């Protein structure tokens, strides 16, 4: 991965923000993820604070089959779902896609069954990024 933090991984693109956002949505769908929540940070800051912000969208992605398995192993897993995928324009006018690392997020629980599901989610998210 081109970009990595302790809690997320992603890539940077020369492609315009709107085009990358549409591609992310399409690739997530191919991997079985629906968008449960969507938060346009730029619009919300303008609306609530009257402030301008960069293009920045947070997509709450969920794969129903994997979520079902996760809930079966840990009923409180809802506090860590859905998986956030962010698309934003950086200071160099590049488009960045970052994905919450499900292994890092779910690893805090210490449930081996969840770690296995998180690894499956990570592989799918890595394929999404690779397809962009």
21-28: long-range pairs with CB below 8 Å, 24+: 21/57, 21/87, 23/131, 23/132, 24/59, 24/85, 24/87, 24/97, 24/128, 24/132, 25/59, 27/127, 27/128, 27/131, 27/132, 28/59, 28/61, 28/85, 28/128
Q: Each residue of 87-119: pLDDT tens digit?
A: 999 999 999 999 999 999 988 888 988 999 999
Whole-angstrom Cα distance, residue 96 to residue 66? 26
Nearest to 28 by CA among 59, 65, 71: 59
**Which region among 15-24, 25-34, 100-109, 120-129 has the lowest average model confidence (pLDDT)?**
100-109
Give the start-to-end residue ranges of the domains of the chain: 3-131
Nearest to 131 by CA among 18, 30, 53: 30
Report pLDDT for 42. 98
Report pLDDT for 48. 98
3-class secondary structure, 111: coil
Q: Thinking of the domain 3-131, which architecture would CATH place it in?
A: 2-Layer Sandwich (3.30)
Return all residues near 69 (Cβ < 8 A) that are at least 6 apart.
117
Q: Each residue of 29-51: pLDDT tens digit?
A: 999 999 999 999 999 999 999 99
Q: Cβ(98)–Cβ(8) under 8 Å?
A: yes
């Amino acid at each position: 991965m081109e970009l990595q933090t302790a809690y997320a991984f992603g890539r940077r693109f020369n492609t315009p923000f709107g085009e990358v956002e549409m591609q992310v949505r399409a690739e997530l769908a191919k991997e079985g993820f629906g968008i449960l929540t969507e938060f346009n940070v730029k619009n919300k800051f303008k609306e609530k604070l009257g402030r301008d912000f960069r293009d920045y969208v947070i997509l709450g992605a969920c794969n129903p089959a994997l979520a079902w398995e996760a809930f079966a192993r840990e009923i409180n897993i809802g506090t860590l779902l859905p998986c956030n995928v962010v698309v934003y324009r950086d200071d160099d006018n590049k488009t960045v896609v970052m994905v919450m690392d499900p292994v890092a997020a779910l690893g805090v629980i210490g449930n081996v069954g969840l770690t296995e599901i998180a690894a499956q989610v990570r592989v799918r998210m890595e394929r999404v990024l690779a397809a962009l």
